[in-house]
């Protein structure tokens, strides 16, 4: 190393006077890269005391990482760093969710096309797939950057990608397991379909947070004439007039009372209890109930479907089944709303569909992929379903079936992605019959630890619904459904590996072959039943199936055995319907056993803006991680996000708060550490010699030291327990309290003056204090590491590894602090509690008498029960010092002599403290002298004077006149204390040409010069 390098190196080691986290974090980031620290953590597997599995919940590479993501990633990182320090190995490896609709929609936008059909026509599938890959790589870069800035120590080199062939092949194994257990089925079902995205959605997706939106729809009353009558009608209501095109039956509630209502020349049939409100709504004042009947008696009644002339297929439908356009009885008919007569469109509604299925009534669903009516819908051919609403109303008018139309605002499910109103459609789909294994799913879910009741109930509640899982999607960029079906005989074959597929292929497999559309669609295989041609079913898989396959698909068989089930996972609360769900279902299908792939799952609350609003592009309030961290410290953000609220709470992220308490805590830790380092360096403290053991043996420990050590044990225990329970806010509060209250406000002020001297006689005592500060601050630095890894690494490198070069090379490789029961002292802690309480009462008394804490006073009297006094007596020296008085008296009752006006007092509970308020000029002068002497001592050290060196002189300038007068008699004593030949007082700095150092006394500026 050259001299210059050495100088630079030394400079890097130093802790600058100001806590400048951005600079420090950049430096540590470099340190980690230079030392390959992240990868070295992989090597702990060899000596690990245990292995904890992990599967990364893969972020979708379709959005810019924002603060909500950051919060979750920090929780993961905390657990990783903490468990690693505890000696466990965890495969904390990244993973990326790459496929699916969001990516496709973005590429469509980029290519400037409106939908799937257009993109294929204009660009072809190969190009489309290439664009999808490019799109995810753009986001991947941003995620790497955000993780890097945030200090998330996830292993990026070992990331899994859900679109890679080897992943897809292993995902197919889940389907194979389902197929073999008869859990994978094709069928017509009514599914929620998004006309914008042109694909069906799973019921989990329909229930997403925020997918229900207030929308305006027509509120239409219409009437169907009863066959064979002249003027009798069923009165019906709908908000989706387009479904009248696919009307198939009417349903009534069999157990309800229905009536005939005369309105003008017509008779309308409806449920009795709704007559009044409906007539009011229709503004019909004159009506009369003429007859009553049960719902049951209406069953089988045929009605004239009014639009047969313009939808000829509806006439044909009547010939296919005798129940078409007749009334049936169904319990699901709600008689508390509308008219109690429901029109059924099995092609457009789930209840309707099942009502038809149960009776064998054919499903009439004349829609194409864009939810436009097909040729089977007569004059409506080519019209988009929801655009047909008003056309239908017009036609009802023309066909004497119209009653009244208004507008209604109601909550209606929209697509979580594109926000189109969803349409329910009967389609051919593939399903995982998860309803059949629901009891296993619930059994598995009950065994999982969720840490908090509320998210647990939400998750279990959702799982209880136990609906079949529609896994087929009519899209391009996804895992292909590996199902080949024979054109001739309908025989099906599930091919769950690339090798099997290549071997069975009838054509030569091209070189650029990958397990995606369109390549995989070009492969046909021969039917082993009839020698016919088998082609692939044109579906890709739900992207939740894709990511839910991660526990098996991202590992090798060996790793799967080692890392699954994982002991812990965490994701956002929205994942109750997402990843947490698909992981569980797929694992149970794969293994056939009622157990999940994770033993514990923490659902995190979502993150909102400072005002509690959801973060969204449209509001412009999204806080992007990288942008935030360009100007703000990662440690502060991490500390803030964990400290602010419970992990399950919705967090309102307020950037203003970063620089308040979080800054105070971290900067206090920084300055305490720097205070220790400076003093220890000055006294040539040797960490390997002056250990805690040495301090115990040398018997130089004071009660205050033992108290600090005992408190530290409490905090280690409390903090670790809270981390274990995922009470991160409570855990961080423990550190916060220890640094600010215990260390900074109590311990250091109590020992500080012992370090101000540099006398050889007190050398051992000073080394004792250093050994204690060293032990305590090093321990605290390690406890902070999971939350604030940059600050911890910086202090560890710049202080602790300098003092003990034999320490592991990164704080992340250091061992987690354990509680040492031997140095725990409950009794002493209780004595200190009493002492600190009395001191705070004494301060209150001083406040009342306007007596500055700095003023030494002659006497304090503590009036308290015997037990408290006994406890105080053992710590009397500290009591005198902290209250800054010369003597203490104890009493059980208030002594008579405190009646005079020279006493001030304050009381709390059974303790009263009296302080003599008499100003004693001698004491005041001595007090000022001692204060100034300490400042001079500190300056001596700062300027590097060796302890034995005698100063030429010390100058104090710009003290107020009163203080100067009080101090005058003590100048000789002061000169002796600070080892100067003489101390001078100056009214103004200008009286002496010197290098003045700013200091303060009672909040006023004073200046000191020594030479």
486/636 with CB nearer Zn ion = 486
Catalytic residue among 477, 544, 707, 816: 544
127/492 with CB nearer Zn ion = 492
- Angstrom distance (rounded) from CA 750 to CA 746: 6
Catalytic residue among 230, 611, 617, 850: 617
312/532 with CB nearer Zn ion = 532
Note if 617 is an active site residue. Answer: yes
Asked if residue 571 lies in contact with residue 579, where contact means CB atoms within 8 angstroms, the answer is yes
Q: Give every CB contact of residue 190 below 8 A, 6+ residues apart in sequence.
A: 346, 347, 348, 349, 350, 352, 353, 424, 425, 426, 427
CB of 221 to Zn ion, least distance (A): 31
DSSP string, 689-735: TS-HHHHHHHT---HHHHHHHHHHHHHHHHHHHHHHTT-HHHHHHHH
Asked if residue 750 lies in contact with residue 881, where contact means CB atoms within 8 angstroms, the answer is yes
At residue 555's C-alpha, the angle toward residues 550 and 556, to 5°, is 140
- 3-class state of residue 453 by DSSP: helix
Helix (H) / strand (E) containing 187:
strand 184-194
Catalytic residue among 96, 179, 579, 816: 579
Asked if residue 910 lies in contact with residue 864, where contact means CB atoms within 8 angstroms, the answer is yes
Count of CB atoms within 10 A of residue 47's CB? 8
Asked if residue 251 lies in contact with residue 298, where contact means CB atoms within 8 angstroms, the answer is no
370/809 with CB nearer Zn ion = 370
CB of 618 to Zn ion, least distance (A): 17
527/549 with CB nearer Zn ion = 527
Note if 575 is an active site residue. Answer: yes
Please, what sign has the CA dihedral across residues 188, 194, 199, 203?
negative
Note if 164 is an active site residue. Answer: no
Catalytic residue among 253, 314, 575, 767: 575
296/492 with CB nearer Zn ion = 492
CB of 208 to Zn ion, least distance (A): 12
- Angstrom distance (rounded) from CA 803 to CA 808: 13
Helix (H) / strand (E) containing 465:
helix 453-465
Helices 703-724 and 728-737: angle between axes, nearest 10 degrees: 170
Helix (H) / strand (E) containing 562:
helix 557-563
| R_g of the chain computed on alpha carbons | 39
CB of 195 to Zn ion, least distance (A): 8
CB of 533 to Zn ion, least distance (A): 8
Asked if residue 274 lies in contact with residue 339, where contact means CB atoms within 8 angstroms, the answer is yes
- Angstrom distance (rounded) from CA 489 to CA 493: 12
Note if 715 is an active site residue. Answer: no
Residues that bind Zn ion (CB under 5 A): 194, 196-197, 415, 417-418, 420, 486, 488-489, 491, 527, 529-530, 532
CB of 98 to Zn ion, least distance (A): 19
CB of 370 to Zn ion, least distance (A): 12
Task: Report the candidate in 243, 262, 434 with the shortest Cα–Cα distance to residue 342.
Answer: 243
104/376 with CB nearer Zn ion = 104
Catalytic residue among 76, 91, 96, 97: 97
CB of 475 to Zn ion, least distance (A): 11
Task: Report the candidate in 202, 204, 201, 251 with the shortest Cα–Cα distance to residue 224.
Answer: 251
281/574 with CB nearer Zn ion = 574
CB of 799 to Zn ion, least distance (A): 56
- Angstrom distance (rounded) from CA 880 to CA 506: 96
128/690 with CB nearer Zn ion = 128
At residue 812's C-alpha, the angle toward residues 809 and 813, to 5°, is 55
Note if 579 is an active site residue. Answer: yes
- Angstrom distance (rounded) from CA 124 to CA 715: 63
487/949 with CB nearer Zn ion = 487
Write down the H helix ranges in 335-384: 350-359
- Angstrom distance (rounded) from CA 1005 to CA 993: 18
CB of 525 to Zn ion, least distance (A): 11
- 3-class state of residue 953 by DSSP: coil
CB of 424 to Zn ion, least distance (A): 14
CA 238 vs. chain centroid, Å, equals 42
- Angstrom distance (rounded) from CA 107 to CA 761: 77
- Angstrom distance (rounded) from CA 636 to CA 629: 10
CB of 459 to Zn ion, least distance (A): 25
194/648 with CB nearer Zn ion = 194
423/708 with CB nearer Zn ion = 423
Q: Give every CB contact of residue 612 below 8 A, 6+ residues apart in sequence.
A: 650, 652
In the chain, what's the furthest Cα-to-Cα distance?
A: 126
Q: Give every CB contact of residue 900 below 8 A, 6+ residues apart in sequence.
A: none
527/716 with CB nearer Zn ion = 527
Which residues face 97 on adjacent strands?
60
- Angstrom distance (rounded) from CA 480 to CA 539: 6
- Angstrom distance (rounded) from CA 438 to CA 426: 24
CB of 373 to Zn ion, least distance (A): 20
Catalytic residue among 313, 421, 614, 722: 614
- Can you list the positions of beta strands (E) in 433-568? 469-470, 472-473, 483-486, 492-494, 525-526, 533-536, 540-541
Note if 614 is an active site residue. Answer: yes
Residues annotated as catalytic are 58, 97, 544, 575, 579, 614, 617
């Amino acid at each position: 190393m050259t001299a210059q390098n050495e100088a630079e190196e030394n400079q890097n080691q130093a802790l600058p006077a100001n806590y400048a986290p951005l600079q420090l974090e950049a430096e540590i980031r470099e340190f980690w890269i230079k030392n390959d620290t992240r990868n070295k953590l992989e090597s702990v597997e060899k000596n690990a005391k245990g292995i904890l599995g992990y599967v990364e919940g893969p972020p979708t590479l379709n959005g810019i990482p924002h603060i909500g993501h950051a919060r979750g990633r920090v929780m993961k990182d905390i657990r990783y760093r903490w468990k690693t320090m505890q000696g466990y190995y965890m495969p904390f490896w990244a993973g990326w969710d790459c496929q699916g609709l969001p990516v496709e929609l973005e590429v469509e936008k980029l290519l400037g096309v409106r939908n799937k059909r257009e993109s294929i026509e204009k660009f072809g599938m190969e190009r489309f797939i290439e664009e999808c890959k490019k799109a995810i790589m753009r986001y991947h870069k941003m995620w790497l950057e955000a993780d890097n800035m945030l200090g998330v120590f996830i292993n990026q080199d070992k990331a899994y990608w859900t679109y890679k062939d080897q992943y897809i092949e292993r995902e197919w194994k889940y389907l194979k397991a389902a197929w073999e257990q008869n859990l994978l089925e094709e069928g017509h079902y009514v599914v929620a379909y998004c006309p914008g995205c042109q694909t069906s959605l799973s019921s989990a997706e329909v229930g997403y947070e925020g997918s229900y939106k207030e929308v305006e729809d027509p509120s239409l009353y219409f009437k169907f004439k009863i066959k064979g009558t002249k003027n009798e009608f069923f009165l019906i209501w709908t908000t989706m007039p387009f479904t009248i095109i696919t009307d198939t039956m009417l349903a009534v509630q069999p157990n309800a009372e229905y009536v005939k209502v005369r309105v003008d020349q017509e008779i309308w049939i409806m449920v009795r209890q709704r007559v009044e409100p409906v007539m009011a709504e229709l503004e019909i004042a004159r009506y009369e109930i003429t007859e009553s009947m049960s719902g049951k008696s209406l069953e089988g009644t045929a009605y004239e479907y009014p639009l047969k002339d313009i939808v000829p297929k509806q006439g044909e439908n009547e010939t296919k089944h005798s129940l078409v356009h007749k009334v049936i009885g169904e319990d699901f008919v709600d008689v508390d709303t509308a008219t109690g007569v429901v029109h059924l469109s099995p092609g457009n509604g789930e209840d309707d569909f099942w009502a038809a299925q149960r009776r064998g009534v054919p499903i009439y669903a004349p829609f194409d992929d864009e939810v436009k009516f097909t040729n089977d819908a007569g004059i409506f051919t080519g019209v988009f379903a929801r655009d047909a609403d008003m056309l239908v109303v017009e036609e009802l008018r023309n066909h004497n079936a119209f009653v009244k139309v208004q507008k209604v605002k109601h909550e209606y499910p929209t697509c979580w992605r594109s926000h189109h109103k969803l349409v329910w459609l009967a389609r051919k789909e593939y399903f995982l019959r998860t309803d059949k294994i629901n009891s296993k799913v619930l059994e598995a879910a009950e065994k999982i630890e969720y840490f908090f009741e509320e998210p647990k109930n939400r998750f279990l509640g959702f799982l209880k619904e136990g609906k079949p899982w529609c896994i087929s999607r009519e899209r391009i960029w996804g895992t292909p459904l590996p199902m080949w079906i024979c054109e001739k005989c309908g025989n099906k074959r599930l091919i769950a590996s690339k090798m099997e597929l290549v071997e069975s292929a009838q054509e030569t497999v091209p070189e650029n072959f990958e397990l995606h559309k369109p390549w995989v669609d070009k492969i046909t295989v021969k039917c082993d039943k009839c020698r016919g041609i088998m082609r692939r079913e044109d579906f890709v898989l739900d992207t939740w199936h894709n990511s839910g396959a991660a526990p098996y698909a991202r590992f090798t068989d060996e790793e799967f055995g080692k890392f699954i089930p994982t002991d812990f996972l965490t994701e956002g609360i929205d994942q109750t319907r997402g990843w947490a769900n698909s992981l569980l279902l797929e694992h149970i299908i794969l293994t056939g056993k009622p157990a999940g792939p994770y033993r514990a799952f923490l659902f995190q609350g979502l993150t909102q803006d400072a005002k509690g609003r959801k973060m969204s592009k449209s509001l412009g309030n999204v806080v992007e991680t990288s942008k935030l961290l360009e100007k703000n410290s990662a440690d502060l953000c991490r500390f803030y996000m964990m400290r602010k609220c419970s992990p399950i709470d919705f967090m309102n992220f307020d950037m203003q708060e970063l620089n308040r308490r979080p800054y105070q805590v971290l900067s206090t830790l920084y300055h305490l550490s720097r205070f220790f380092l400076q003093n220890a360096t000055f006294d040539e403290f040797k960490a390997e010699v002056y250990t805690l053991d040495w301090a115990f043996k040398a018997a130089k420990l004071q009660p205050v030291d033992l108290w600090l050590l005992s408190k530290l044990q409490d905090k280690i225990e409390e903090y670790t327990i809270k981390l274990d329970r995922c009470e991160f806010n409570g855990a961080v509060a423990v550190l916060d309290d220890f640094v600010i209250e215990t260390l900074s406000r109590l311990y250091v002020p109590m020992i500080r003056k012992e370090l101000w001297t540099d006398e050889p006689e007190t050398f051992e005592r000073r080394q004792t204090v250093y050994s204690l500060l060293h032990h305590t601050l090093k321990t605290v630095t390690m406890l902070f590491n999971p939350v604030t890894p940059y600050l911890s690494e910086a202090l560890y490198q710049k202080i602790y590894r300098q003092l003990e070069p034999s320490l592991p090379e990164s704080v992340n490789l250091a061992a987690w602090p354990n509680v040492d029961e031997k140095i725990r002292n409950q009794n002493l802690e209780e004595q200190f509690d009493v002492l600190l309480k009395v001191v705070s009462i004494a301060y209150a008394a001083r406040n009342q008498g306007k007596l500055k804490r700095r003023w030494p006073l002659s006497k304090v009297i503590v009036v308290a029960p015997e037990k408290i006094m006994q406890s105080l007596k053992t710590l009397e020296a500290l009591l005198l010092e902290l209250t800054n008085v010369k003597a203490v008296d104890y009493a059980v009752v208030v002594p008579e002599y405190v009646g005079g006006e020279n006493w001030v007092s304050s009381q709390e509970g059974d303790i009263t403290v009296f302080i003599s308020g008499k100003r004693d000029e001698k004491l005041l002068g001595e007090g000022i002298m001692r204060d100034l002497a300490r400042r001079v001592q500190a300056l001596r050290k700062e300027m590097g004077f060796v302890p034995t060196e005698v100063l030429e002189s010390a100058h104090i300038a710009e003290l107020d006149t009163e203080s100067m007068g009080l101090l005058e008699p003590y100048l000789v004593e002061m000169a002796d204390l600070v080892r100067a030949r003489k101390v001078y007082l100056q009214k103004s700095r200008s009286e002496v040409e010197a290098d003045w150092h700013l200091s303060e006394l009672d909040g006023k500026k004073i200046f000191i010069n020594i030479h």
